[in-house]
Amino acid sequence: MQKIAMTTPLVEMDGDEMTRVIWKMIKDELILPFVDLKTEYYDLGLKNRDATDDGVTHQAALATKRLGVAVKCATITPNLQRVEEYGLKRMWKSPNGTIRAELDGTVFRAPITVPCIKPAVNGWTSPITIARHAYGDVYRATEIPVKKAGRAELTFTDADGNVTRETVYDFDGEGVLQGQHNKLSSISSFARSCFNYALTTKQDLWFSTKDTISKIYDQTFKLTFESIYEKEFKSAFEKAGISYFYTLIDDAVARVIRSNGGFIWALKNYDGDVMSDMVSTAFGSLAMMTSVLVSPDGKYEYEAAHGTVTRHYYRYMKGERTSTNPVATIFAWSGALRKRGELDGIAQLSAFADALEKATLDTVNDGVVTKDLLPLTSIPATAVYTDEFISAIKKRLSV
């Protein structure tokens, strides 16, 4: 069989623990036999991040800016325990945070839906994609405990020394205080990423905030989206037959539950954090959730939404076989290969990505699943080990 040729390499970011093991299985069994794979390889495994003083993460991010499409394995974000476990020089930052800061992107998360796994919400027949703004608000807030009565003020001193001052509250006793911020540049690039992603995936875009209560902060988000839409995207949306729709977050929640899915729901940082867990759980499992970082100028980084599945890895290291779900990691590869095919005009590559996804879903629908899916399937199913599951996919891919 002739392997499918590629022209531009993918940026390949290897990772840690169980997902690193699965990464190799996927490449060896499901990709290399079919595609003459070209990648620029970056080892983001924690050992190599430490050895390169995290330089490898920055290089991988820059390569993504240059080549346009990356596929990333899950990586450990070090904490104190990991510093000891790996004897790290420093507690390196989250690789995803570093890459996101470099690409200035928005993260889109979508469930992988299969007919035999029914969402908790009956009406959801198509996936709902959450677009979460990944900067500011409560994640960058400054907080002060208030110990006794006094006046809390919000002051801003601009670059010319002009001062704006507002009273937050006159405390008559103990309390708490919090200051939040966001940047117009970040809100604008969030908006552009969302509009671009809606166009490439041909889905309607919803956006919701609490602008009725937050008349300046949330209103700025609403107006920024509105003005960028009117000026830069309206005609393209009309041509594509998709729509942009803003509504108050309370109303959005009710509409989402009543909907059939099939759209993108853009949310501020905290709302997106919370709603993505709700939506992914209602669709089934974190192991069936894809994640793609899209920059405002259209660079893509594909990955699974879950982590390195540490508990399974420790069992694997003891010589046990595990039944770890590789579906989201397979879809990270197929997403990246499809996008590369689209950008380089290689229809065969995009068709291979479709076939790989179909073979994966067919396997699940035939009742061959990993252990985590067993309680979720509505058909008689058998749980198999990861390597058996991947072989079952390969069998369906080859015919």
Q: Which residues form the interface with ligand NAP (CB under 6 A)?
A: 74-77, 96, 286-287, 303, 306-311, 324-325, 372
Which span sits near Mg ion by CB under 5 A: 112-120, 123-131, 237-245, 273-281?
A: 273-281
192 binds, among Mg ion, ligand NAP, none (CB under 5 to 8 A by kind): none
| Cα angle 69-72-77, degrees, rounded to a multiple of 5 | 135
Structure token pair of residue 162? 């002009």
Beta carbon nearer to ligand NAP, 79 or 125: 79
**At CB < 8 A and 24+ separation, what contacts does 152-155 make?**
152/177, 154/179
Backbone phi, psi, residue 347, to 5°: -60, -35
Q: Shortest approach of ligand NAP to residue 257 CB, angstroms?
A: 25
Residue nearest to Mg ion (CB): 273
Q: Shortest approach of Mg ion to residue 274 CB, angstroms?
A: 7
311 binds, among Mg ion, ligand NAP, none (CB under 5 to 8 A by kind): ligand NAP
Is 273 near Mg ion (CB under 5 A)? yes
Beta carbon nearer to Mg ion, 45 or 111: 111
Residue nearest to ligand NAP (CB): 307
Beta carbon nearer to ligand NAP, 98 or 295: 98
325 binds, among Mg ion, ligand NAP, none (CB under 5 to 8 A by kind): ligand NAP
Confirm if 378 and 116 have CB atoms less than 8 A apart: yes
Q: Percent helix, strand, coil in the chain (nearest 5)? A: 45, 20, 30
Beta carbon nearer to Mg ion, 97 or 115: 97
Looking at residue 40, its amino acid is E
Which span sits near Mg ion by CB under 5 A: 6-14, 268-276, 288-296, 357-365?
A: 268-276
Which span sits near Mg ion by CB under 5 A: 7-15, 126-134, 267-275, 285-293?
A: 267-275
Beta carbon nearer to Mg ion, 269 or 360: 269
Looking at residue 150, its amino acid is G
Give the whole-angstrom CA distance, residue 278 versus residue 261. 14
Nearest to 180 by CA among 219, 218, 142, 221: 142
Q: Shortest approach of Mg ion to residue 273 CB, angstroms?
A: 4
Q: Which residue has the tokens 């908790």?
A: 120
273 binds, among Mg ion, ligand NAP, none (CB under 5 to 8 A by kind): Mg ion
Looking at residue 202, its amino acid is K
Return residues touching Mg ion (CB under 5 A).
Answer: 273
